[in-house]
Each structure stands twice: as C-alpha cells, then as structure tokens.
C-alpha cells in the first residue's frame, strides 16, 4: 500500500462535494450510496445520524500524516455520519473515542487502515473495502460487469481482493503485475481468471480497467472510451489522456466510505459475502 503524503491529502475535504457530483454522473451513485452498495448493503432505511464515529491519529511507524484524520472525519461527515477527530492519539485517542460515545473508530498505521465497530467487536479493512468500492464504481459506470472482460493491474492486497469480487460478479478477469508470479498466484486461486502475458498489450486492448498498482497507466496505451477505476496513487495523467477515457479516482474517500458501510453492516448483523475470502 503506497503511503499517502500531506500534499495528496491537501484539499480533499474541499473536493468532497465535487466528488459526490462526479460519482453521481459517472457511476450513478453518490459517495455514501457507493460505499454501501460496494459491500452489498442498501443504504435506504439506514439512518447514519443514529451512529457516531471517531478518527484517531496514530503515531506509530512513520507517524501521523498531516490532514489524514481530519480528511477521514470530513469524508464520514459528508456521508451523513457524525465523525470527530480525537484530541489524543493512539491508545489514549482510542479511549477518548470510547468515552465520547463513538460506535466506530477509524485509525491507520503503516500496515492497516480499519474501521472498528466497538459494539460488534469487528472491523472492516481498507484493502478489502477499497477493492469493493472501486469494483462497484466500475460496475456502475459499465452498467454491469457480468460476462465482460476486465483488466486488473496489480496483484497486491487490493488487486487480489478485486479479482475475488470480480469472480463473484461473473466478469472475465485478466490480472497483470510486473511480478508475473504474483499475478499467476492470484489466477491460480480464481479459476477462469487469466494472467496477462504482456501488460502493455493487455492494457491497450482493455475497455474496463481496475488499476490497483502504484503506477499510472501510459496515456498512449489507453483506449478511447475506456473506463478506468483506479485507487492507485500517485494518480497523474495528462489532459489529453483524461479526456479520452473515464477515470474514477480519489486517494481516500471511496475506500473510507465502503469501510464505514461495512462496519455499520456489522451492527445490522450483515457481513459482505466475500469478506471471509478476502486477503487482509
Ligand atoms: C489508508 C491510505 C490509503 C493509501 N495509502 C494508505 C496510507 O497512506 N496508509 C498510511 C496511513 C498512516 C496514517 C497515520 C495517521 O495520520 O494516523 N498513522
């Protein structure tokens, strides 16, 4: 998982309204609905104001990323679920979240980003939920994925979870990774999935792409009219490329929305069908 930087995070909170608008136009759902549908839940009838969340800054490892917890809280508030950032960090911050009545605690170290549902005693994790969020976004933009060829770039934790989710939806999945053995390992786990022999050729032939790699796709390889659903960071494309394809991207909000949705689902006695298979 590529570590976000303060500059990647800067301004995201101010862009949440534009993200909602863009998602509605591209995938037919706003951020909140996308998050819930990504984990198989219908947002209708769930009153998010009945819940309370906290974002706890975590100082372990490489430490706090400026703006990270604030941006998470702003994203969760944008979904309609009240969320505050604790004044304290780490264990003390977790205690503050509990004392202030949080139902969900969102926190991330250098290895994992989770939303912990205190009452349910279960957590959702970012690798799985980012995969679910971007697969659902692609499904919405493509008006369904069943029987359609989809290229997954990157066979890490997020890419692997994407392949599992695509298999469940009956897509025809090709996996590509610069480390071919990693792609082959994922293909072996999901019968019917194919390993790309030549990444550039596979990319140039793809109309539906999930880019879970840390490498932006070369603009000249992208087919006009392609739909590219990509949590990958850094996300840098020139204007000509951005005009010829449909891009679905944001560095943090879509994964966070699906995490919150799945964590709320634990309170409703629901667990997404693939969570048990997902690699954490
Ligand atoms: C969760 C993000 C999405 C992409 N990369 C992941 C990342 O940057 N992880 C590290 C998060 C560290 C947060 C830090 C803080 O500010 O609490 N411990």
- CATH number of the domain to which 61 belongs: 3.40.50.12150
Q: Is residue 146 part of a domain?
A: yes
| Residues 160, 94 share a domain | no
Residue 45 has a pLDDT of 83
How many whole angstroms separate alpha carbon 75 and alpha carbon 104?
14
Q: Is residue 118 part of a domain?
A: yes
| Residues 200, 91 share a domain | no
Neighbours of 278 (CB within 10 A): 18
Pair 140, 118: CB distance under 8 Å: no
| Residues 89, 11 share a domain | yes
How many whole angstroms separate alpha carbon 206 and alpha carbon 221?
9
| Residues 135, 236 share a domain | yes
Distances from the Cα of 180 to the Cα of 23, 155, 221, 230, angstroms: 33, 9, 20, 20
CATH code of residue 231: 3.40.50.720
| Residues 180, 99 share a domain | no
| Residues 82, 26 share a domain | yes
| Residues 142, 93 share a domain | no
| Residues 165, 120 share a domain | no
The reply to whether ligand 1 has any atom less than 6 angstroms from the CB of 57 is yes
| Residues 86, 165 share a domain | no
Neighbours of 7 (CB within 10 A): 9
Q: Is residue 18 part of a domain?
A: yes
Protein residue closest via CA to atom 5 of ligand 1: 3
How many whole angstroms separate alpha carbon 29 and alpha carbon 37?
9
What ligand 1 atom has the least distance to the C-alpha of 69? Answer: 16
| Residues 151, 56 share a domain | no
Helix (H, G, I), strand (E, B) or coil at 151: strand
Q: Is residue 60 part of a domain?
A: yes
Order of strands across the sheet with 53-55?
83-85, 53-55, 104-108, 113-117, 122-125
Protein residue closest via CA to atom 16 of ligand 1: 64
| Residues 259, 222 share a domain | no
The verdict on pTM exceeding 0.85 is yes
What ligand 1 atom has the least distance to the C-alpha of 113? Answer: 1
The reply to whether ligand 1 has any atom less than 6 angstroms from the CB of 85 is no
Q: Is residue 139 part of a domain?
A: yes
Q: What is the pLDDT along the chain (280 residues), one digit of tens a residue?
A: 789 999 999 999 999 999 999 999 999 999 999 999 999 999 998 999 999 999 999 999 999 999 999 999 999 999 999 999 999 999 999 999 999 999 999 999 999 999 999 999 999 999 999 999 999 999 999 999 999 999 999 999 999 999 999 999 999 999 999 999 999 999 999 989 999 999 999 999 999 999 999 988 999 999 999 999 999 888 888 888 899 999 999 999 999 999 999 999 999 876 655 555 454 4
Q: Is residue 1 part of a domain?
A: no
Give the number of domains in the chain.
2
How many whole angstroms separate alpha carbon 48 and alpha carbon 20?
17
Task: Give the residue, out of 68, 85, 97, 116, with the most ligand 1 atoms within 8 A of its beta carbon, to mutate for a pocket test.
Answer: 68
CA of 113 to the centre of ligand 1 (A): 7
| Residues 165, 66 share a domain | no
Domain membership of residue 91 as a residue range = 6-126+253-279
Neighbours of 207 (CB within 10 A): 16
Q: Is residue 172 part of a domain?
A: yes
Residue 275 has a pLDDT of 54
DSSP code string of 243-275: HHSEEE--SSHHHHHHHHHHHHHHHTT---TTG
Residue 235 has a pLDDT of 84
């Amino acid at each position: 998982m590529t570590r976000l930087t303060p500059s990647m995070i800067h301004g995201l909170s101010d862009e949440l309204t534009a993200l909602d608008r863009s998602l509605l136009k591209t995938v037919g759902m706003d951020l909140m609905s996308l998050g819930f549908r990504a984990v198989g839940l219908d947002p209708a009838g769930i009153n998010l104001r009945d819940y309370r969340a906290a974002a706890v800054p975590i100082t372990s490892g490489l430490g706090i990323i400026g703006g990270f917890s604030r941006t998470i809280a702003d994203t969760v508030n944008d979904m309609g679920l009240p969320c505050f950032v604790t004044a304290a960090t780490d264990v003390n911050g977790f205690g503050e979240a509990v004392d202030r009545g949080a139902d969900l605690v969102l926190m991330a170290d250098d290895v994992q980003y989770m939303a912990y549902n205190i009452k349910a005693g279960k957590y959702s994790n970012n690798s799985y939920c980012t995969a679910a969020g971007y697969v659902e976004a692609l499904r919405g933009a493509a008006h369904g994925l069943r029987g359609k060829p989809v290229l997954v770039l990157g066979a890490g934790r997020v890419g692997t979870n994407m392949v599992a989710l695509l298999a469940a939806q009956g897509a025809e999945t090709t996996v590509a990774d610069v480390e071919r053995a990693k792609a082959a390992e994922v293909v072996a786990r999901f019968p019917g999935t194919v390993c790309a022999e030549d990444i550039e050729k596979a990319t140039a032939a793809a109309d539906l792409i999930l880019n879970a790699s840390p490498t932006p796709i070369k603009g000249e390889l992208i087919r006009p009219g392609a739909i590219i659903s990509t949590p990958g960071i850094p996300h840098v494309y020139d204007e000509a490329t951005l005009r010829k394809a449909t891009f679905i991207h944001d560095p943090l909000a879509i994964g966070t929305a699906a995490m919150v949705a799945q964590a709320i689902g634990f309170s409703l006695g629901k667990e997404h069908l693939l969570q048990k298979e997902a690699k954490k």
